[in-house]
Chain A
Amino acid sequence: MPFSFRCLQMRDAGKDKIVSNKRTPSLFRQIAVRLAIVTLIFALLDVGLVVFTYSRQPQSLAQELLSLEADKAASQTIGNNPGLEGPPGADRWFASYVDPTLSNPNGATTIHPSPNGGTMIDWTKREKLQNGFRISGLREVNVDGEQRWLYMQFEGSGLKSYVPVIANELIQHVALPLIPLSLMMLLFNIFAVRRVLDPLRKAEEEVDGLDPENMSVRINEPAAPREVTTLVRAVNRALERLDDAMTILRSFTANAAHELRTPLSIMQLSIDQLPKSEQREALLEDNRQMTRLVNQMLDLAQADAKAFETDAVVDLAKVGRQAVSQLAPKAFQAGRDLVFEDCGGAIINGHEEAIYRIYRNLIDNALAHASGNSPIEIAAGPGPRFHVRDHGPGVSEQDAANLFERFWRKDRSSGTGAGLGLGIVRKLAEAHGGTVTIENPRSGGARFVVVFPDPANLRRSK
C-alpha cells in the first residue's frame, strides 16, 4: 500500500525581517548643513553691513530715495501727473513735472530753485528741519521716449521712508550677487565632499565583502585622504588579529576532536570487554552520551566558525533518505517508525554533510520527544525546504523561544541530551542562509521546518 502524508504547502520563503536601523546623520549631510549655515551667517553679516553703511550716509540715502521714485514715475506717469504716492511715512510729499524752458518752475516760492540757476541737471538736496528732514531734487525721467524733468520734495522723519531704498539696495547689491555664488559654492562642495568620501565608500564595500571563509583578504589602502588610510590600516590590523584567532580556534577544534575521541574509544572498547552486567550497560550508555556530547560540541564549534563551503548542489531528498536509513535502526530499537516522503524540487546550494547533520539532529530530537506509536514523518520539499514532524506533546510558545538555546532542556533532570542538537540545527541552517521554525500542527506533535534560499547557482547555470 502506497502511503502519503500531506506535503507542506509552499510558503513564501526568504521573507527576512530587515531590522531598520535608526538613521544616523551622514558625514556628507553634516558637512552640507554646516556649509549652508555658514553661508547664511555671511549673508546676514553682509545685509547688516549694507544697512549700517547707508544709515551713516543720509545724503546718498536721500539721493537714492528720489531716484527710486523717479524710476517709478517713468512707468506710472499719465499726462502731466507722475502718479507717485511718495515714500512711506511722508509728512509732506510733492511731485510735479517741470517745464525746462522756464528758469524758475511754477511755485518756486515754496520750493527750492535749481542751485545751478538755469541749466537742468539731476540734483538732490537734504535739509534738516526741526523734527525731521526735507529732501528735494530734480530727476530726468524718460516717459514713453520723451525726456521730462520731475521735481520732487519730501518731508519726513526717522528711517521708515528709507525702507524701500534699503530693500532695493539689498536686492541689487547683496541678494543678486550672493545667491548664485552661494549656490555655486554649495554645488561645488557637494561634489568635492562626495569625492573626498569616495574612498570611504569603497572601503565600506570591501569590508562588507569580507568572508570568514577567507580571512586572508585585506582592505585596499586608498592613497588619500590620510584619515581614511589610517582607518583602513586599523581595520586591517584588526583583521590580522581575527585571522590569528580564527586559525587558533579551528586548530583547537581539530585538536580537541582528536584528544577527546581517542580516550572515548579506549573507554568504549574497554567497557566492551567487561563481563555482561547492568553496570556494563550503564557505562556503555554513559560513554555513548559522552561521545554524543563531544560530537555535538565540535559540530557546534565548526558551525560557529562557519568553516565550510555551502555552494555545492545538494538534493535534500537524497540526504533525507540517507539520514532516515542511518537512524532507522535506532528508531526500531525505540519501537518507532520513520516515514519519508519526497515532495519534489528540494534542491539547494549547500554542504551535504552539514545538511545531513541537520536532519540527524532533528530526527534525534523527534525520537526523544515522540509519544504513542505514531511514526516520525520526514519530508523533503516542495521546493528548498524539508521538515521533521513528531507526534509528541508539541512545543509551547514559551519553550519555543528557548528551544534553540545551547544547553537548554525543558526538564533538566530527565532525558539524555545536553540540549545542543537544536542549537546545531539552527546554526547550520543559518550558515546556509536558511531558517528553522517550529509549528504545532492541529493534529498534535511538533513540526520543525527548515527553509533554505532558492538555489542561485542552479538558476545561473541554466
Chain B
Amino acid sequence: MRLLLVEDNARLANLIRDGLDRQGFAIDWYETVEGAVHAVQIGGFDLILLDLGLPDGDGLELVRSLRAGNNPTPILIMTARGGLDDRVAGLDAGADDYVVKPLEIPELAARCRALLRRPGATLSTILQAGNVSLEPAERMVSVKAQKIEISPREVDLLELLMRRAGHVVAKPAIENALYSMDAEVTPNALEASISRLRKRLVAASADIEIKTVHGVGYALFIPVSANA
C-alpha cells in the first residue's frame, strides 16, 4: 500500500511516516501543493493523506482539482481546522474522510484501512481482537489458538463487529448485512444471534465483549487489560 503524505511540518511528517510504516504502509512525503500535484501525475498511490494549510496553497484546492480531473484516489484530510463548518467543507470538496489533529497512529491507520476498502488487508488476512482471531476465508474462529464451534451466521456477525472493533455498528447496518432482503426478519432475530455469540465467547473464555448500546447498535469492546 503506497500512501502519499502531504504535510508541511517536517517533524510531524516524519512521525506520521514512522508510525504508519510500522502499521505496514509505504509512505511518500511531499511538503507542498506543487510537489503533491507532481507526485499524483506520476501516479501509483492508493491513498492521499493531505494537510490543508500548506505553504503554497490550500489543500482543499488540490482536492477539488483532483476530483475535477476525475482522479478517484481516496483522500484523507488531516488538518488543524476543526471548526463547525470545516469538516463538511472538506467532504464537500471531494475528500473521503476528515481527521482533526492531533492524530493517534492506530486511529489514523484504521481510517486508512477503511478507505482502502480492504479492512485489515494491509496487515494480514486474519482478524484479531483480544485473544480471538477470525479467518474470513476459512470462516473459522479461534480463541487462544483453539478453534471453536460456531454457526455461519455468528461468524458473519463476529466478522462484522471485529472489522469495526471498538466502534459502534448500527443495528440496521448489521441487519442489512446479515439478512437478505426477502428473508423474514423477526425483531428479535439479531438479539438472539448476539446472545448466542456472547455465550460461545464466554464459554471459550474470550476476553472480548459484545456491548449493547441501547437504541443504537452493538460494539465489540476489548477491555484494556486484554489489550495490553
- B130 close to A (CB within 8 Å): no
Tell me the chain B residues, 1-30 only, with Cβ under 8 Å from chain A. 9, 11-12, 15-16, 18-19
Contact, CB under 8 Å: A258 / B221:
no
Contact, CB under 8 Å: B102 / A291:
yes
Chain A residues lying within 8 Å of B15, measured Cβ to Cβ, are 265-266, 269-270, 272-273
- B163 close to A (CB within 8 Å): no
Contact, CB under 8 Å: B80 / A269:
no
Contact, CB under 8 Å: B105 / A269:
yes
Contact, CB under 8 Å: B213 / A262:
no
Chain A residues lying within 8 Å of B87, measured Cβ to Cβ, are 353
Contact, CB under 8 Å: B168 / A265:
no
Contact, CB under 8 Å: B101 / A265:
yes
Q: Which of A266, A328, A353 contacts B84 (CB 8 A)?
A: A353
Contact, CB under 8 Å: B170 / A325:
yes
- A338 close to B (CB within 8 Å): yes
- A369 close to B (CB within 8 Å): no
Stretch in A36-44, A123-131, A132-140, A339-347 touching the partner: A339-347
Shortest Cβ distance from A264 into B: residue: B102
Chain A residues lying within 8 Å of B83, measured Cβ to Cβ, are 253-254, 257, 298, 302, 307
Select the residue from B18, B82, B85 with max chain A CB neighbours within 10 A: B82
Tell me the chain B residues, 95-111 only, with Cβ under 8 Å from chain A. 100-105
CA distance A176 to B91 in the complex (A): 82
Contact, CB under 8 Å: A328 / B219:
yes
- A233 close to B (CB within 8 Å): no
- B166 close to A (CB within 8 Å): yes
- B53 close to A (CB within 8 Å): yes
Contact, CB under 8 Å: A340 / B216:
yes
Contact, CB under 8 Å: A308 / B215:
no
- B224 close to A (CB within 8 Å): yes
Chain B residues lying within 8 Å of A329, measured Cβ to Cβ, are 166-168, 219, 221
Whole-angstrom distance between the Cβ of A331 and the nearest chain B Cβ: 9
- B117 close to A (CB within 8 Å): no
Also in contact, A324 and B84, with CB within 8 A (given A273-B18, A332-B221): no
Chain B residues lying within 8 Å of A298, measured Cβ to Cβ, are 82-83
Contact, CB under 8 Å: B211 / A328:
yes
Chain A residues lying within 8 Å of B168, measured Cβ to Cβ, are 324-326, 328-329
Select the residue from A287, A332, A339 with max chain B CB neighbours within 10 A: A332
Chain B residues lying within 8 Å of A257, measured Cβ to Cβ, are 80-83
Also in contact, A375 and B104, with CB within 8 A (given A266-B9, A332-B221): no
Chain B residues lying within 8 Å of A291, measured Cβ to Cβ, are 102
Contact, CB under 8 Å: A266 / B12:
yes
Shortest Cβ distance from A317 into B: residue: B215
Shortest Cβ distance from B212 into A: residue: A337
Also in contact, A353 and B103, with CB within 8 A (given A257-B80, A266-B12, A339-B214): no
Chain B residues lying within 8 Å of A268, measured Cβ to Cβ, are 102-104
Chain A residues lying within 8 Å of B88, measured Cβ to Cβ, are 353
- A52 close to B (CB within 8 Å): no
Select the residue from A269, A291, A354 with max chain B CB neighbours within 10 A: A269
Contact, CB under 8 Å: A262 / B80:
yes
Chain A residues lying within 8 Å of B217, measured Cβ to Cβ, are 325
Whole-angstrom distance between the Cβ of A109 and the nearest chain B Cβ: 115
- A447 close to B (CB within 8 Å): no
Chain A residues lying within 8 Å of B18, measured Cβ to Cβ, are 273
Whole-angstrom distance between the Cβ of A297 and the nearest chain B Cβ: 11
Chain A residues lying within 8 Å of B105, measured Cβ to Cβ, are 269, 272
Shortest Cβ distance from A375 into B: residue: B214
- A295 close to B (CB within 8 Å): yes
Contact, CB under 8 Å: B214 / A302:
no
Chain B residues lying within 8 Å of A299, measured Cβ to Cβ, are 84
Contact, CB under 8 Å: B219 / A353:
no
Whole-angstrom distance between the Cβ of A407 and the nearest chain B Cβ: 20
Tell me the chain A residues, 279-323 only, with Cβ under 8 Å from chain B. 287, 291, 295, 298-299, 302, 307-308, 321
CA distance A59 to B126 in the complex (A): 132
CA distance A332 to B210 in the complex (A): 11
Select the residue from A333, A337, A338 with max chain B CB neighbours within 10 A: A338
CA distance A1 to B192 in the complex (A): 10
Tell me the chain A residues, 355-369 only, with Cβ under 8 Å from chain B. 357
Chain A residues lying within 8 Å of B104, measured Cβ to Cβ, are 268, 272
Q: Which of A261, A302, A332, A341 contacts B102 (CB 8 A)?
A: A261
- A191 close to B (CB within 8 Å): no
Shortest Cβ distance from A309 into B: residue: B85
Contact, CB under 8 Å: A328 / B102:
no
CA distance A328 to B85 in the complex (A): 24
Per-position contact with A for B142-183: 1 when CB-CB < 8 Å, else 0?
000000000000000000000000111010000000000000
Chain B residues lying within 8 Å of A307, measured Cβ to Cβ, are 83-84
Chain B residues lying within 8 Å of A254, measured Cβ to Cβ, are 81, 83
Chain A residues lying within 8 Å of B216, measured Cβ to Cβ, are 321, 324-325, 328, 338, 340
Contact, CB under 8 Å: A261 / B215:
no
Contact, CB under 8 Å: B101 / A261:
yes
CA distance A264 to B11 in the complex (A): 12
Chain A residues lying within 8 Å of B170, measured Cβ to Cβ, are 321, 325
- A242 close to B (CB within 8 Å): no
Tell me the chain B residues, 178-228 only, with Cβ under 8 Å from chain A. 191, 211-217, 219, 221, 224
Contact, CB under 8 Å: B213 / A324:
yes
Shortest Cβ distance from B228 into A: residue: A276
CA distance A167 to B119 in the complex (A): 109
- A267 close to B (CB within 8 Å): yes
Whole-angstrom distance between the Cβ of B126 and the nearest chain A Cβ: 23
Contact, CB under 8 Å: A338 / B102:
no
- A218 close to B (CB within 8 Å): no
- A351 close to B (CB within 8 Å): yes
Also in contact, A262 and B214, with CB within 8 A (given A257-B82, A269-B15, A273-B18): no
Given contacts A3-B215, A258-B80, A260-B80, 18 further A-B contacts (CB under 8 A): A253-B83, A254-B83, A257-B83, A261-B80, A261-B82, A262-B80, A264-B101, A266-B12, A268-B103, A268-B104, A324-B215, A325-B168, A329-B166, A329-B219, A332-B211, A332-B219, A338-B214, A340-B213
